[in-house]
A and B are shown apart, each in its own frame.
Chain A
């Protein structure tokens, strides 16, 4: 190889590998504030994605963690000591989670907070578990986050998929929609479980499934829409997906003549994808909270306004409340235990009985370290505008194997 050619090849590969990995090898970002700096207090190691495909889901929760920590520290910290944040951006790279968790634990983390998807976060959670440290996922929806996934010290502040999906089905039933098509994005377990539960609950309520179809992120579903239009006309379509694939599905449905109402879960929350389907109407999402300033909880609207003032834009999805709730839960647990010991904190979490957190009343059980019975927000999209429609708690939570 000629020297200049070799240099060119090496430069391109090295630069790309550097950029691919730099986000995860950057020095951890530490933040603390308030008047009590210097005293020994809680250190939260954050192993989340500020870049990469998980970042749209992680960033809102991470930002409100920062805001809540600032607020607690400004009020004097916990027992007079400030909360420290030690943040490592994983870049959504699955290979970095375990090492990033070890990195923050070695640096003295008492608790670690991980990314909002079990499949992605679990390597970090298992490292924390082995070290006897409580690990919290602010907005994982899969009930596997907890003992079912080998995480005795792992808790999610999210709304579990069984509750979310049961609400989706019950909402559709309340509208009198009887025939349903289920569209499932099979690229992650969350959306697969979402449609499985919604279908089971919908049929329990007397609904009929007239079609089930799969897709994966990046695919057009034009062929599937042709199959839908050739079959029994649905009263409702359940789109169990997340953006951008879920948005593509919604656009293909509307562009190709399917006018039936569409119901989705948290994966399709937010306004950032709405411009892709101009004039979209009769679309409903079940999510944590409204980002639009019309949430029934004034504290949620206040936080969204504060978020906008701090970061220059409103939160992209309703799960932003889970970041605040993560810190609230830690503070509440510490009031019981007086320590940051992993087992003691886990026991304190398990003792929660409808604990009042911003995300909603919170309880855990020995089997379920995630909440499935909280009230949720049903959002409605009309003519491309997202707005709060109603608050709805699951009447019955169903599970699937």
Chain B
């Protein structure tokens, strides 16, 4: 297998986890919430895509984005608003409970079996370029990730509300004292993370064509791991961390000898442990966490 092919595969995998890490990192920055239930936002959007796409692709994409934003906002207002002043541990446990709750609801509504549909089937096409094979979805994934990363960056640096989000991420208490509207900032952050979850759902449903109740768990887990490696308190670090996890997992799959290839995930966790031992706050973070009120 040639190196270029492995690099293309790895970049595409890394882009998905970078997006997931971005969505998770955004919310963590403001609320200090490592949201385990992020996967269920991805799942909700994925169900929308799989169900609506055969009827109307445009409506499916719009619906998936809308559902992602709506579910994220609903999580905020139904649960996390009430827990805002609690410790990160309380928020984490609540998000874990919410994740299980939503998976059960999805199972009750859509059944335990998978639903399937060809979502954007044209993107599944591969182009043979001689030495390498280029899957259109890989290109779309990478482009989508770059666009969203740039979009979020512009939002954070060029808009008033984006600057408020940044201020709240830096020091929530001081930002509030300076007049930042905390409720609005948190809601906007959840909404953006929901939109990003819909993008992740799009890529993954095109890739798999199926969705089940636990669809979003794995990307969330690896996105969260990536965000921790990069540094949950540093959005750019979280994104890079997510990308690194995806790339590492992909390259290990490509290059590990067959005898130890089944243990590739263990090597990724080994990497996580090594990073956390050497840099407890992640590769790109420094200093202690901020206190919220």
Contacts and interface: CB of A to CB of B under 8 A. Distances in A.
B250 A16 contact: no
Interface string B215-226: 001100000000
B216 to A, nearest CB: 10
Given A255-B135, A256-B135, A273-B210, A16 B97 contact: yes
A19 B86 contact: no
Contacts of A52: 107, 112
A276 B105 contact: no
Contacts of A363: none
A200 to B, nearest CB: 17
Interface in B238-263: 250, 253-254, 258, 261-262
A247 B114 CA distance: 10
Interface in A187-226: 212-214, 218-220, 222-224, 226
Given A17-B100, A276-B208, A276-B209, A230 B2 contact: yes
Given A186-B262, A277-B209, A16 B114 contact: no
Given A9-B86, A247-B209, A220 B13 contact: yes
Max chain A CB contacts within 10 Å: which of B101, B105, B113, B121? B113
A51 interface: yes
B154 interface: no
Contact of B208 (A4, A9, A220): A220
Contacts of A41: none
A212 B258 contact: yes
B117 A276 contact: yes
A15 B97 contact: yes
Given A20-B104, A226-B254, A229-B133, A13 B112 contact: no
A251 B125 CA distance: 11
**Interface residue range, chain A:** 35 or more
A66 to B, nearest CB: 18
A19 B105 contact: yes
B118 A316 contact: no
B79 A226 contact: no
A278 B212 contact: no
B135 A251 contact: no
A276 B116 CA distance: 5
B62 interface: no
A8 B79 contact: yes
A218 B5 CA distance: 22
Contact of A255 (B116, B124, B218, B258): B124
Nearest to B8: A226
B274 interface: no
Contact of B112 (A17, A55, A247): A55
Interface string B114-129: 1111100100111010
Contacts of B99: 16
A316 B262 CA distance: 31
Interface in B132-180: 133, 135, 137-138
A275 B118 contact: yes
B83 A9 contact: yes
Interface in A244-296: 244, 247-248, 251-252, 254-257, 272-278
A224 B258 CA distance: 11
Contact of B114 (A4, A20, A213, A273): A273
B250 to A, nearest CB: 5
A227 B66 CA distance: 38
B79 A256 contact: no
Nearest to B87: A1
A56 interface: yes
Contacts of B254: 223, 226-227
A243 interface: yes
Interface string A1-25: 1101101110011011101100000
A4 B101 contact: no
A9 B94 contact: yes
A273 B94 contact: no
A273 B97 CA distance: 29
A276 B118 contact: yes
Nearest to B251: A223
Contact of A244 (B90, B98, B104, B210): B210
B1 A273 contact: no
Contacts of A20: 100-101, 104
A251 B208 contact: yes
Given A13-B94, A16-B104, A214-B261, A220 B112 contact: no
6 contacts: A12-B97, A15-B101, A16-B101, A51-B112, A223-B9, A275-B209
Interface of B: 1-2, 5-6, 9-10, 12-13, 54, 79, 82-86, 90, 93-94, 97-101, 104-105, 107, 112-118, 121, 124-126, 128, 133, 135, 137-138, 207-210, 212, 217-218, 250, 253-254, 258, 261-262
Interface of A: 1-2, 4-5, 7-9, 12-13, 15-17, 19-20, 51-53, 55-56, 92, 186, 212-214, 218-220, 222-224, 226-227, 229-230, 243-244, 247-248, 251-252, 254-257, 272-278, 316
Given A257-B133, A272-B116, A276-B117, 15 more contacts: A5-B85, A5-B86, A12-B101, A16-B101, A53-B112, A56-B112, A186-B262, A214-B262, A223-B6, A223-B10, A224-B253, A229-B133, A243-B114, A256-B135, A276-B114
